[in-house]
Amino acid sequence: MAQAKLTIDLDALRANWRALDALSEGETGAVVKADGYGLGAARVAGALAREGVQRFFVALAEEGAALREALGAGPEICVFSGHMPGDTRLIRDLELVPMINNIDQMLRHVEALPGAPFGLQLDTGMNRLGMEPAEWAALRDIALAQKPVLVMSHLACSDTADHPMNAQQLQCFRDMTDGIEAPRSLAATGGILLGPEYHFDVTRAGVGLYGGLPFAGAAPVVTLEVPVIQCRDLAPGESVGYGNTFTAQRPTRIATIAAGYGDGVLRAMGPKASLMAGETRCPVAGRISMDLIGVDVTGLRAVPDTLELLGRHQTVDTLAGWAGTIGYEVLTALGQRYTRVYLGG
């Protein structure tokens, strides 16, 4: 079988949530948007719910609907995009909690679903989603009179602990929310690691659950093993793949493996990337194509049936470094062609 195997360790995921929960001062929720960061929101959230998570965060109402179907009644599902046109039926029927981002969403929600739960999102300097201080000042008393279940904002630079933006946003959030009765939330994974002053009542564990930075202590969650389809021996001067970007300088053995950018293996990582055969590192040879990658296995006594791209030797952030991106992109790019195996949970 030429299908690569993506193994997702739900016990490791749960351990990462427990570790972040132990660092948090209040309740620890879980962010499972983008299909659980590419790992399958239903399986991920189900494992976390069994661990005790009661509050989940998604990007869209449609994601919330799928999550409610998977989890059933009980857990709170907060929708970052708020109450958009067309969302009313999903919010009402599936008991979703829109995080209201502006006065238009506020009016839409109270007119369409009076008394239905909602949260509020404030912009403390990221300039992405939420009410800016002037809009909040005008709407604050009206919004708080409706009893929001959560008031939140989002840190722009929490993965850099000493960035001055962190303290600036913390102070802005305090200025905008001190004295309110509603629970408050500012910290995702990076904010949890910044310390208790950023935690408030609810934290939103995200990428750290899945083994990504900035949570350096995270247990690895994902392993990706790619089958070897064919091996060939190259003489000096022969090339591999599109564009002849790899040319053998010595007798070289190349393994062709069954994955590529069609599976979310980012093409940009090719020049620096490698795979593991046990403890031996085998560099990628030539360009990553849609379905296939050439790997230099000259140093192996015997070529195994599979090579490991993700696992205990190299994390999603290792791959991200090769591609000049972030671990989030590597995770969420993982394709649907893999055989997915879930451990534990």
Among residues 150, 179, 210, which one ends one of the domains?
Answer: 210
Q: Over the Cα atoms of the chain, what is R_g?
A: 23
Q: Are residues 265 and 125 in the same domain?
A: no
Q: Residue 177 domain-assigned?
A: yes
Distances in Å between the Cα of 237 and the Cα atoms of 85, 109, 121, 228, 234 are 61, 67, 59, 23, 8
SS3 state of residue 341 = strand
Q: Are residues 171 and 270 in the same domain?
A: no
| Residue 242 bears catalytic tag | yes
Average pLDDT over residues 24-48: 97
CATH assignment of the domain containing 332 = 2.40.37.10
Q: Are residues 37 and 61 in the same domain?
A: yes
In sequence order, which residues have a C-beta less than 8 Å from that of residue 161 and are 6 or more positions away? 193, 194, 214
Q: Are residues 248 and 191 in the same domain?
A: no
Q: Residue 249 domain-assigned?
A: yes
Q: Which of 4, 58, 9 is nearest to 29 (CA)?
A: 58
Cα(75)–Cα(96) distance, integer angstroms: 10
Confidence of residue 345 (pLDDT cuts 50, 70, 90): confident
| Residue 147 bears catalytic tag | no
Q: Are residues 163 and 102 in the same domain?
A: yes
* Predicted pLDDT of residue 211: 96
Q: Given 5, 198, 242, 342, which residue is catalytic? A: 242
Cα(255)–Cα(300) distance, integer angstroms: 11
Count of the separate structural domains present in the chain:
2
DSSP string, 63-80: HHHHHHHHH-SSSEEEET
Q: Are residues 243 and 124 in the same domain?
A: no
Q: Given 33, 198, 261, 328, which residue is catalytic? A: 33
Mean of the per-residue pLDDT values of the chain: 97
* Predicted pLDDT of residue 280: 97
Percentage of the chain lying above the pLDDT 70 cut: 100
Q: Are residues 19 and 65 in the same domain?
A: yes
Q: Are residues 119 and 202 in the same domain?
A: yes
Average pLDDT over residues 142-163: 96
Task: State CA 215 to chain mean position distance.
Answer: 12
Structural domain harbouring 37: 10-210
Cα(237)–Cα(167) distance, integer angstroms: 57
In sequence order, which residues have a C-beta less than 8 Å from that of residue 99 and are 6 or more positions away? 78, 79, 80, 81, 82, 118, 119, 120, 121, 150, 152
- The 8-class DSSP code of residue 329 comes to H
Full-model pTM: 0.95
Helix count and strand count (H, E) for the chain: 11, 18
Q: Are residues 108 and 15 in the same domain?
A: yes
Average pLDDT over residues 282-294: 98
Q: Residue 215 domain-assigned?
A: no
CATH assignment of the domain containing 152 = 3.20.20.10
Q: Which two tokens stand for residue 230?
A: 């064919």
Condensed to tens digits (0 to 9), the pLDDT of residues 219-266 reads 999 999 999 999 999 999 999 999 999 999 999 999 999 999 999 999
Q: Are residues 197 and 60 in the same domain?
A: yes
Condensed to tens digits (0 to 9), the pLDDT of residues 164-214 reads 999 999 999 999 999 999 999 999 999 999 999 999 999 999 999 999 999
Cα(328)–Cα(33) distance, integer angstroms: 11
Cα(98)–Cα(197) distance, integer angstroms: 26
Q: Are residues 196 and 120 in the same domain?
A: yes
Average pLDDT over residues 6-35: 97
Q: What angle do CA 70, 74, 77 make, to 5 degrees?
A: 70
Among residues 161, 182, 210, which one ends one of the domains?
Answer: 210
DSSP string, 52-66: T--EEEESSHHHHHH
Evaluate if residue 1 carries a pLDDT over 80: no
What values do phi and psi take at 252, rounded to 5?
-135, 140
Condensed to tens digits (0 to 9), the pLDDT of residues 189-200 reads 999 999 999 999
